[in-house]
Amino acid sequence: MSDIAIRPTRLADGRELIYFDDAGSALPPERSADPRHLDPRPPTATMRLDLLTGDWVSIASARQNRAFLPPAEFDPLSPQSETNPSEVPSRYDVAVFENRSPSFGPALGDAEDAPEGLEDLARLAVGRTRTSVGRTEVVCFDPRTAGSLADLTPNRVRTVVEAWTHRTAALSAMPGVEQVFPFENRGEAIGVTLHHPHGQIYAYPYVTPRTQRLLDTVDRYDGDLFADLLEFERGGERVVLESGSFTAFVPFAARWPVELHLLPHRHVADFTELTDAEKDELSRVYLRLLRAVDALYDTPTPYISAWHQAPVHTHRDRVRLNLQITSPRRGPDRLKFLAGSEAAMGAWIGDLVPEQTAERLRVALATADAERPL
């Protein structure tokens, strides 16, 4: 969207910071320099191969230094003030910056001992390591110190969608990046350590285990998996919301007490393949879905909002951009914990009937639309 201004700059330690100004923003184009004196960034973490599963584990011990539920006056994601030397020097609408203690990066694919492609990562041997190249970014949805994306205006959500699109394109072009994953964790029950409305973007040096299982299924399936799945769900009773270009539904085999998926009606591999009109529409649809999830109970619902995109270099014509919102909340004061069967064996047991969850979400959507019309 041409009306959303994109203003890149750098933080005091060289990390990239990008301001995304709303369409019609009242903010001036000038941005303050970062006046802080910062320690050098920690070295890039190292990945270790789990020989039992073939999964790579990034050992990123610098993450232990992350801020943990600071008071609002010391919010590290608010615009800087005289008493709060935060990560963002200027006022902003939406801001994206490199994480100071990243799980992947800042080194990229030309670093020493970097992965040498997917075939290199697939080789099995005891004690294998590689540098955890890639990028980990923080996306600040709003300068306010509390809330979530559901509390924003449609115009601001549209700016967030544009930020996801811009960063997906930029990160996908970086050497060594194999998959880009925008997501939002919301609520202390999920493990959130900052109340500020924000999300993250991970640029992985491999195709994630979850996506590898999907690729295997796509390869084994006789037909267009996502097209057939969408047709099946649109013909059932689990649809929660339909628009001109998107359908949201509770999946047939839902794992979580609250699980809501969204698919575009045409094939797009990631955010970069959406048209401006589709991004406009998606912004409003997504906002309505998040508000419906919040309207299920009297208090805000903890959730993970995960944007699954096709890998950068494979299966782009067969893996479709899809959103999966999940919550462990199975009642007003009850959570689903991943214990023996799910955590140890990956064998899930659903606590709620998906068709009943879909009906509850449709009622919650109607309530949210009435209380906060767009």
Catalytic residue IDs: 198
**Angle, in degrees to the nearest 10, between helices 276-294 and 154-172:** 120
- How many residues in the chain? 374
**Angle, in degrees to the nearest 10, between helices 354-371 and 276-294:** 100
Nearest to 218 by CA among 267, 274, 275: 267
Residue 79 is given by DSSP the state B
Say if residue 67 is exposed, middle or buried (CB neighbours under 10 Å; 0-12, 13-18, 19+): middle
Where b means 16+ CB within 10 Å and e means fewer, 197-218 reads bbbbbbbbbbbbeebbebbeeb
Measure CA of the first residue to CA of the last residue in the chain; give whole Å. 20
Tokens representing 209?
């285990």
Chain centroid to CA 194: how far?
A: 16
